[in-house]
Structure 1
């Protein structure tokens, strides 16, 4: 076999890791890698903005379990990709970002687009690597892919100096090194089960990445048999199936006040795949005193607040595989506690009309729940519009949701495009506000070019709704810097050859949705909504949690997981 350049060997090593797609905005700084992709089995997805490329890579990771890979150029390209790196960092999602760099011979001279890779990404990546030695090309890629999924998962950055890429690097890839996957020790599992058996009001909270439909389904079934209600962390709603009798809703922005109250009542909390963070705990105000069991791959439990009585450093799959029979964890506990939480959530998830002018989103999302197939994939950006989807659209297995847990706007569209490429046979729906949609609407060009057919729902209230709600509370009658004057989004999608409709009345939504779903094309429904309706009322579930002060310290309804 002839020797390969470093750029070509990087591609070979990615193939060895089973990478199916790379998402890129091309740059002259990594031309040799692009040339290596020309004859590769890897699909090169050419994006329109580096932020969109990064978000697509993040979606790839969430939906496939393989670290998503993005490639961007130096300086401005790397700057544009930063939002996706920050999202992967805070969300603990594995990703590898390749960044083309200036030649080694020009380093430190203020050359065109020169910047400090470590300075930019050093605090938002697990590691920043620079390929200064072409002979280590394959080794560097293998190390990055392994590091991205080890411990607390996250993004890894690889800098590629332009002149190093074209140097002869060798002929062979390096063997894959599987990450250490600790299995729960029998002694620790025994203690966990004993603690669960003694608890009267336990609550299991699932979250994070790495779930499969089998893992989530098995854990939900085990919890139901052990009479333990199951809730999800913010934007992890798909970890377990919602049809489970143990399903109790989600915590974080938009959660039911009843569930927040139950968090205060619980005498034991079992976290699997996630930690007790500020969002989950309503700003470090709930569930801090309860006995706490933590099943988290990260041995440092980074980001976890409050007590830890037992920490099992294992991934969800390993924990689920090691679980004993549920009877041992049930003890003498009746099913009343679990049934009460499930009933709370059942009431909370029944679509209710919001009232007001324009399209009523409560009614609209109720119709979406009825008409979408069970294996749908939902993608979200950030902002108030996402709360209707989280509340009224159910999930039936892991790998059916991509959304930013860090509140980054602009993820919904690129994630939907990526999901449509990864799973062309499944219905993909992006839920966006008008502000969120315009953050990365340019990636619809990728969907059009690839004949991908996601459905984009844009709820248009003419403003950055989350900030409007905060302004109304803190600076009443003084709107400032939040109004949006929007174009015809339906016309935009038609310009890409897709199906687009503007919907101004609730009665028109159902027929429009049926036409969009039946079009077989990229589709968008532009819903004109009442600017006065900020988000569904989190306190409208019938009944309250006994003995709690449900809602007393809840985040403002407008804080829908977004920065706008």
Structure 2
């Protein structure tokens, strides 16, 4: 956390609106701003020069936005990203969409053309509201310098309240240079909601009637203590817990209550459990598309309880018998105690999960066996390791075979955005320099933002990056095999030697084509990480194998 700079809270002394904005970020405890510089917000950049806030200079605005999202996921505070006008804002749009669909708090600062140049098709001009009005919780334009601090505080409050999400603040170039004597303002406090005694009693009545209750954890509003408390409660009551897609770190995978995760690549048997459950308790998350097999699964007669601070339950698409307007953290302090359920229901789900999470036996081939390689990686990961990955078939191995034991420890885009993994891993290493950070990437996903290796090298980030190279966009090829067998089209890729690319940045890098070479290579890579260098392992994998084998 950055300390407030001298005079940050002063009243009466004039400074530019850009300097006031930075002082407000300091007052809100922002440790880092990720971004790509632009002449449209020079006053902000100048104020950051003397600020305790670190300006992390990235190589593309999409990568900067993903880093801000990763910081938000790890800390619960809005991540902040700064970009310039049209081209910069366009590149950052992918992060805004990810923040919207993932319900992650983020502040996007966008430099704009001077006020006098508006609506004249001036250089790099665009419509801030037109671009972001449907994918942000609020779009704000700073038109009065004295409101800079107030509107930043407002943006932080909006981004974190209810269902979190992105807020976009437009910063006209000439407004940023205008002088003001306005002070910084206090952070806006907001409640995480609460569970009343009558509501807890109503929940207990519903739980008492259920023979096959299913607890589904996901969404936002979690803390490490809340995750541990909800898991322990489920253990005491023998309630099986299933994580929503890419929310697997909300329950310790060693817990006897953990039954697996919903979503792409998960155990198909879990959808049968969703159909059989006679009570669904959603904590933090909601019934949505990916979880439910396209809104097709789930017992329609099962009472549904939703714990969410979102009063609108925007993403929930089924019945609601009880809505507890509270964050998971608030819910964790009001868990109703009662008798334990019969053991057969959760024991059966746990046994199926343990089988599904077991990698397949080695298969000899000319490629690296990804089941075996992922198992070797899992053996070397620390209990609090942070795993980051983007979108693609490679992510299924990470989701299935890399167990999670602490919260927060998973960074993955729930909207399926490619290119997320490497920037997220860089940010994770900056936020938690003492923790092991592992990025699992596909060849297509990695090169969406592979340039952020330069950011890792520049700022001393030390993730271990493992790239599964199948020379193609594997997810799309899998769909083609299903719908147009024998007719691959538009999915082949030609790749560099990623190990050599890493070495060109002064990082540790190797390329592997034999499964037997993986364990020793992992040891060398982790030794490099321990010595202060990021490391990359480029694994050549069979392009015909698009799913884990398992057992």
Same fold by TM-score greater than 0.5: yes
Say if 2:179 is the partner of 1:168.
Answer: yes
Report the alpha carbon displacement of residue 494 of structure 1 after superposing the two structures with TM.
Answer: 0.2
2:351 paired residue among 343, 364, 368: 343
Say if 2:477 is the partner of 1:507.
Answer: no
Who is 1:303 aligned against?
315
Report the alpha carbon displacement of residue 345 of structure 1 after superposing the two structures with TM.
Answer: 0.8
Q: Aligned equivalents of 2:224 and 2:360: distance in 1?
A: 29
Structure 2 unpaired stretches of 5+: 1-9
Report the alpha carbon displacement of residue 357 of structure 1 after superposing the two structures with TM.
Answer: 3.9
Report the alpha carbon displacement of residue 517 of structure 1 after superposing the two structures with TM.
Answer: 0.5
Report the alpha carbon displacement of residue 172 of structure 1 after superposing the two structures with TM.
Answer: 1.2
Who is 1:377 aligned against?
386
TM-score w.r.t. the length of structure 1 is 0.93
Q: Aligned equivalents of 1:36 and 1:348: distance in 2?
A: 53
Say if 2:68 is the partner of 1:68.
Answer: no
Within 5 A, what are the aligned runs for 1:69-88? 69-88=80-99
TM-score w.r.t. the length of structure 2 is 0.96
Contact 1:353 1:360 in 2 (8 A): no
Q: Aligned equivalents of 1:315 and 1:170: distance in 2?
A: 38
Contact 1:288 1:305 in 2 (8 A): no
Who is 1:232 aligned against?
243
Deviations 1:117-169 (A, max 9, x none): 00000000001000011111100000000000111110000000000001112
Contact 1:95 1:156 in 2 (8 A): yes
Q: Aligned equivalents of 1:462 and 1:536: distance in 2?
A: 17
Say if 2:294 is the partner of 1:280.
Answer: no
Within 5 A, what are the aligned runs for 1:62-211? 62-211=73-222
Contact 2:284 2:308 in 1 (8 A): yes
1:416 paired residue among 388, 403, 425: 425
Say if 2:528 is the partner of 1:516.
Answer: no
Q: Aligned equivalents of 1:438 and 1:267: distance in 2?
A: 45
Contact 2:109 2:171 in 1 (8 A): yes
Contact 1:202 1:267 in 2 (8 A): yes
Q: Aligned equivalents of 1:416 and 1:217: distance in 2?
A: 24
Deviates more, 1:513-522 or 1:113-122: 513-522
Contact 2:36 2:83 in 1 (8 A): yes
Contact 1:136 1:169 in 2 (8 A): no
Deviations 1:454-487 (A, max 9, x none): 0101000010000111111111111111000111
Paired residue secondary structure (2:309): coil
Q: Aligned equivalents of 1:204 and 1:322: distance in 2?
A: 16
Paired residue secondary structure (1:439): coil
Within 5 A, what are the aligned runs for 1:13-92? 13-92=24-103
Contact 1:354 1:533 in 2 (8 A): no
Contact 1:194 1:329 in 2 (8 A): no
Q: Aligned equivalents of 1:221 and 1:46: distance in 2?
A: 42
Who is 1:560 aligned against?
none
Who is 1:469 aligned against?
478
Report the alpha carbon displacement of residue 189 of structure 1 after superposing the two structures with TM.
Answer: 1.4
Q: Aligned equivalents of 2:259 and 2:383: distance in 1?
A: 19
Report the alpha carbon displacement of residue 354 of structure 1 after superposing the two structures with TM.
Answer: 7.0
Say if 2:401 is the partner of 1:392.
Answer: yes
Contact 1:288 1:306 in 2 (8 A): no
Contact 2:220 2:327 in 1 (8 A): no
Who is 1:431 aligned against?
440
Misfit runs of 4+, over 3 Å: 353-357
Distance 1:104 1:288, change over 3 A: farther
Q: Aligned equivalents of 1:146 and 1:370: distance in 2?
A: 41
Q: Aligned equivalents of 1:483 and 1:354: distance in 2?
A: 27
Paired residues, number: 535
Deviates more, 1:258-267 or 1:277-286: 258-267
Who is 2:3 aligned against?
none
**Greater RCO, 1 or 2 (C-alpha within 8 Å, sep 6+):** 1
Q: Aligned equivalents of 1:16 and 1:336: distance in 2?
A: 53
Contact 1:353 1:361 in 2 (8 A): no
Contact 1:146 1:178 in 2 (8 A): yes
Paired residue secondary structure (1:248): strand
1:489 paired residue among 490, 495, 498: 498
Deviates more, 1:486-495 or 1:279-288: 279-288
Say if 2:303 is the partner of 1:291.
Answer: yes
Say if 2:369 is the partner of 1:360.
Answer: yes
Paired residue secondary structure (2:311): coil
Q: Aligned equivalents of 2:204 and 2:351: distance in 1?
A: 26
Deviations 1:354-403 (A, max 9, x none): 74540111111111111111110000100000100110111111110110
Paired residue secondary structure (1:238): helix
Who is 2:331 aligned against?
319
Paired residue secondary structure (2:111): strand
Q: Aligned equivalents of 1:109 and 1:92: distance in 2?
A: 35
Paired residue secondary structure (1:135): helix
Q: Aligned equivalents of 1:230 and 1:380: distance in 2?
A: 23
Report the alpha carbon displacement of residue 329 of structure 1 after superposing the two structures with TM.
Answer: 5.5
Paired residue secondary structure (1:322): coil
Report the alpha carbon displacement of residue 425 of structure 1 after superposing the two structures with TM.
Answer: 0.8
Who is 2:452 aligned against?
443
Paired residue secondary structure (1:430): strand
